[in-house]
Structure 1
Amino acid sequence: MGGHQGRCTAFPGVRKPALYGIHDGAERDGTAYRAELTAFIGSPVCAPEPVLAGELELPETWWKSLHTDLETIAATPTERVAVRRQWIDAHSPSTQASPPRPRSTGLRLTATATSPT
């Protein structure tokens, strides 16, 4: 199931926003990205922030729906192969060649090179 049509028909019965379009692109340095335009979901959010600060109080129907959707997705045949991050790090020269970029914390970091005395 490939391309835009495949993504729109994948996992019948699973609740998901409508997918209007996909744009794949790449920067000159080889960094690839994907943008997906989906329908707006008017349901209330579970939490106002991306990182949960406390336990969610969700109804049992929400959990049942999630369980059913995950069973549907897990039962769908695929040619994709899942690998762990450790395997990618061990087998990809690009991840070994440069350390991961630090996340921005809003602080300015500086370093000074000194010669041994």
Structure 2
Amino acid sequence: MPRPQLLGWCDWTGDGWDYRAELYQHVDMPPVSHSPVLHHGVNLPDVWWHGLHQALGHLALVHTGRQAVREQYIRRRVPEYTGITPGEITWTTAHGDLHWANLTGPQLTLMDWEGWGTAPVGYDAANLYLHSLPVPELAERVRKEFAHILGTPAGRVGELTACTEVLQAAARVPFYGDLADHVRQHVDHLRQVAGPGDQPSCPTTGS
């Protein structure tokens, strides 16, 4: 797994909360973007994409009790923000925050691991796709690379979840506010291709 080495950690409790601080190996390679949302083209070699596929494939095999996304959130918030009630959820283990500021290039490293855990299939790929939407050529490359996941009913739940998180955060996070219109257009597309287990609903927020 191309990730910084965890050097140490410290756990403590205070005011009814549990805390953990983690110290990771310093990463010399710069991130692909200093913003999670990419606004410029990038030229990443094929070996970079192969490494990303391999890393996410290895991660999917990890068994954990950690949760990157909770089912209660999906069942409650996805219909509210997308107008679609998702059907069956297929779970996997995900990085949980896969965007361009957490990926280095041209040599691949996956950074920012505090949110990893179980999530719907396709959630990581969908996050990378959504954060690429301002650059259509790159968004198309991400879509092509992960078509075997994002083009499935199971992967659509991951996409709807990632869209919901962006739309919910749009009012308080400026770069998500800028991204929201792109995401709404993608949600419109997902409504048109809703799977047999998905049911339309009336969104009350985010549109």
Q: TM-score, normalised by structure 2?
A: 0.31
- Find the aligned partners of 1:88 and 1:31 in 2 and give their Cα distance: 26
Q: Which amino acid aligns with 1:57?
A: N
Q: Which amino acid aligns with 1:17?
A: P
> Does residue 75 of the first structure (1) align with residue 75 of the second (2)?
no
Matched residues, percent identical? 29
Distance 1:26 1:53, change over 3 A: farther
Q: Which residue of 2 aligns with 1:16?
A: 3
Deviation at 1:79, TM superposition (A): 4.4
- Find the aligned partners of 2:173 and 2:2 in 1 and give their Cα distance: 35
> Does residue 66 of the first structure (1) align with residue 52 of the second (2)?
yes
Deviation at 1:87, TM superposition (A): 6.4
Higher percent of residues as helix = 2
Give per-residue Cα distances to partners, 1:18-61, cap 9 Å, x unaligned: 11101122331x23332110110111221123443345432221
Kindly report which structure 2 residues correspond to 1:1-117, keeping only aligned pairs within 5 A, or say none. 14-28=1-15, 30-76=16-62, 78-80=63-65, 82=67, 83-86=70-73
Q: Which amino acid aligns with 2:23?
A: L
Structure (1 or 2) with the larger CA radius of gyration: 1
Give the paired residue count.
Answer: 79
1:62 match: secondary structure: helix
Distance 1:24 1:87, change over 3 A: farther
Q: Which amino acid aligns with 1:62?
A: W
- Find the aligned partners of 1:69 and 1:104 in 2 and give their Cα distance: 29
Give per-residue Cα distances to partners, 1:80-104, cap 9 Å, x unaligned: 2643352697xxxxxxxxxxxx959
Distance 1:81 1:20, change over 3 A: closer
- Find the aligned partners of 1:42 and 1:104 in 2 and give their Cα distance: 28
Structure 2: segments with no counterpart, 5+ residues: 77-170, 175-207
Distance 1:27 1:66, change over 3 A: same
For the aligned residues, what is the CA RMSD? 3.2
- Find the aligned partners of 2:72 and 2:38 in 1 and give their Cα distance: 24
